[in-house]
Structure 1
Amino acid sequence: PEVTLRLRMDVPYGQVVARLCDVAPDGSSTLVTRGALNLSARRGRDRNAPWTPGATETVTFRLNGIGHAFPAGHRIRLAVSSAYWPWIWPQAGSDDGFVLEPAGSALVLPVRDGGEHPEDAGIRFEPPEQSEPLRVTAPPAAREERPERRVVRDVAKGEWRLEVDPRYGGTRVYPDGLEFTEDALETYTIREDDPLSARAGSDWTVRLRRPERAWDVRIETRSEITCDAEDFVASNEVVCHDGEEVVFRRTWEKRIPRVAR
């Protein structure tokens, strides 16, 4: 799919996000695909072209490739926004967004004409083959399972936090007795009035254990990305345990200039 959008923007930098949705008669919406464009890279990713404040331009970009059939009676919705946190990092100074001119904008959808079915052409696909699965067991969870996604709003601070459990958690016991436990939590926070407050964090724990040999090791990592007007700041920590003993610890930080916006 491809979108052409006629935009007016009053700031030199910004971004545009387009989401293609399938809206059912009951109003429920299914995301089909999406795409984004950094407006300072609208003339190519190899150059930085700030927008002339107050100017109106036409931009065109593709959405991610997808195969989808819209059922009869459903509507096609194109949702356009100037931000899409936390899928895209917000830009400072782009708070005012843009003005979209519908008359100069369009959505182009690729259409499959049906044509000949593969089986009509003598093409046959045999059932897929797969090996016998490992006899891995999963003991009952020792803690209450977190929701896969949770949104928390702090009204006093004007802050939103998204907590994501990627569902890598839990313990798996392999045929040779090895216990493998993995737990992860991703958090994304931002204040409503400050794009520079964006913060993304990831906490990860991996544990390997063999009860019959009294062998128990654990690795814990914490990673976080924040920003200011000039740089992204990436900070990391890794801690390795042998039983209860800490055998290795390292922290480091890296600043990445936001030179290309």
Structure 2
Amino acid sequence: SPYWRGASLRPDYGRIECPIFLIAGWRDGYSSTMLRMFQRLTVPRKILIGPWVHSRPNVSVPGPRIDYAREMARFFARWLRDEDDGFMDEPAVAAYMQEFAPPRRTRDVTPGSWRAERAFPPQGAADLVLHLGPEGVLADAAGPPGHDEFDYLATVGVSNGYWSAGGLSFYLAEDQRPDEARSLCYTSAPLARETHLLGWPRVILHASSTARVATFVAKLSDVAPDGASALIVDGSLNATRRASVAEPSPLEPGTVYELDVPMAPTGYVLGAGHRLRLALAGSDFPNLWPTPEPARNRIYRGAARPSRVILPVVGPPAEVSPVFAPPPSLDSPVRVSAEPPLQQVIHDQVAGTVTMHNRRATTTVLEGGGGALWNESRLRATATDADPAQASVAGSHRYRLERPDGTVEVVAESVLRATADAFHLEITLAVTRNGAPYFSRSWTVSEPRRLL
């Protein structure tokens, strides 16, 4: 839309004329943006991409955590002080190749290794195509023509990783089997050899729906010999945006469309004996807002309608693996203490709703009697399979600054609710000083869904 286009680099990456050093995380929401920027820039550039979430590489959970400031200092020394220690002569791409670990949201370190490349896509990269086949198989060749179906369930997705620009405590996905039990799945045979993936997987579906508005969510997972299913990467497409994000058009129920589901990029090593699984669903709650219409979706397969997964496969590393220093221990002018975080999924068996609830709170104390800042964030996202149009998200932020000259508290609360044809947003802001009202304001707005 024009609102976002004005700040976008995509119309002309050539506007950037200075050297660029990009730092990204595979589990961050901006991994596609960073890797795409690296590909399209024409200036001297480097990219460092680790297993990190939306957090700095020296503190990210999961790690490994590194001294990224040292790499930044080398970059700035080269281009601002003309001190050349060979930083720009090293391979332009440093990517962490993740490996299987038992899926847990609270994992501290992701196993894997660093890989260096001179370019992206790497030299010698090739596509590995796996076709959706009968009986839930991912196969090397297209099978006989056929189709499979799944019902749209608005609450599928709670096993996925949650993404937020700094607003959650734990981002990683859990074992995918609870969501896979409510999805349409295709699984490969055990891999005969280790397979290295680096780049964007693609998921091409030939699909139809009984609804005018339907989302197709694709998740690729690493299935261990014991059956545990660890998310590698995911993607989604609201099929009304199949031709244009800015100008959506409704689906014609029963019509078959070819859908290219945008997937996030990854660096991942599939171990020998492991299997690859594709899980398809109509929702990814609470990451995606549920579409409003009940639906039964159909996936076609076979040579004439080749629904398939395309994997970006690279060979063994050709460059020496980069080595990064561990993060240093730094002094801080503040002391930060955190309360135990809360993250729950609540299934109300009476109301038939599923709610994701998150709470976190910290206290920051300034040295020298400068005061203390307490803050709390809460999030509640609710959906139901019975009526997917009736989803809601409620959030609140509270800040209380205590100083010798008084106490100021700020409370911001918002609720976003949906009906079949509109979104309804309510926001309130209240400020108190020493317990007395100081400022308040509220906003209420409704917007049509526009095929969302």
Residue equivalent to 1:60:
260
1:199 aligned residue (374, 392, 412) = 392
Within 5 Å, give how 1:23-38 maps onto structure 2: 23-38=223-238
Query: Does structure 1 retain, via aligned residues, the 8 Å contact 2:216–2:261?
Result: no
Matched, 1:159 2:350: no
Give 1:88's match in structure 2, choosing from 265, 268, 288: 288
Aligned length: 248
For the residues of structure 2 that align with 1:139 and 1:14, how far apart are their CA atoms?
44
Moved more, 246-255 or 69-78: 69-78
**2:318 is aligned with what amino acid?**
E
Secondary structure, in 3 states, of the residue corresponding to 1:67? strand
Which amino acid in 1 is paired with 2:299?
Answer: L
Give the residue type in structure 1 aligned to 2:427.
N
Q: What do residues 160-213 of structure 1 show as CA deviations (whole Å, max 9, x unaligned)?
A: 211022x4x121212243312111110011233111210001011111112xx1
Matches within 5 A, 1:77-156: 77-93=277-293, 95-103=294-302, 104-118=306-320, 127=325, 132-138=330-336, 141=339, 145-147=340-342, 149-156=343-350
Amino acid at match of 1:18: A
Q: 1:35 to 1:251 in 2, by over 3 A?
A: same
Instruction: Give the secondary-structure state (helix, strand or coil) at the position aligned to 1:73.
Output: coil
Gapped regions of structure 2 (runs ≥ 5): 1-200
SS across alignment from 1:99: strand
CA distance in 1, matches of 2:287, 2:324: 39
SS of the residue corresponding to residue 40 of structure 1 reads: helix
Partners of 1:150 and 1:162 within 8 A in 2: yes
Aligned to 1:223: 414
Structure 1 residue aligned with 2:445, among 246, 250, 254?
254
The RMSD of aligned alpha carbons is 2.2
Task: Give, as a single letter, the amino acid of the residue that structure 2 aligns with 1:188.
Answer: A
More helix by share: 2
Normalising by structure 1, what TM-score? 0.86
Look up the SS of the partner of 1:51 in the other structure.
coil
Aligned residue number for residue 185 of structure 1: 378
User: In 1, are the aligned partners of 2:250 and 2:451 still within 8 Å (CA)?
Assistant: no
Shift of 1:126: 6.6
Against the structure 1 CA distance between its residues 170 and 70, is the aligned structure 2 distance closer, same or farther, given a 3 Å change threshold? Answer: same
125-134 vs 52-61, which deviates more? 125-134
Distance 1:15 1:129, change over 3 A: closer
Shift of 1:131: 8.6
The runs of 5 or more residues in structure 1 that have no matched partner are none
Contact 1:82 1:97 in 2 (8 A): no
Question: Displacement of 1:259 after TM fit?
Answer: 2.6
Query: Would you tell me which structure has more strand in proportion to its own residues?
Result: 1
TM-score scaled to structure 2, two decimals? 0.51
How far the C-alpha of 1:71 sits from its partner, in A, is 2.1
Cα contact 2:222–2:229 (8 A) shared by 1? yes
* Superimposed CA distance per residue, residues 102-137 of structure 1 (whole angstroms, 9 cap, x where no aligned partner): 433111111122342146xxxx76747869331432
Preserved contact between residue 358 and residue 380 of structure 2 (Cα < 8 Å):
yes
2:366 matched to which residue of 1? 174
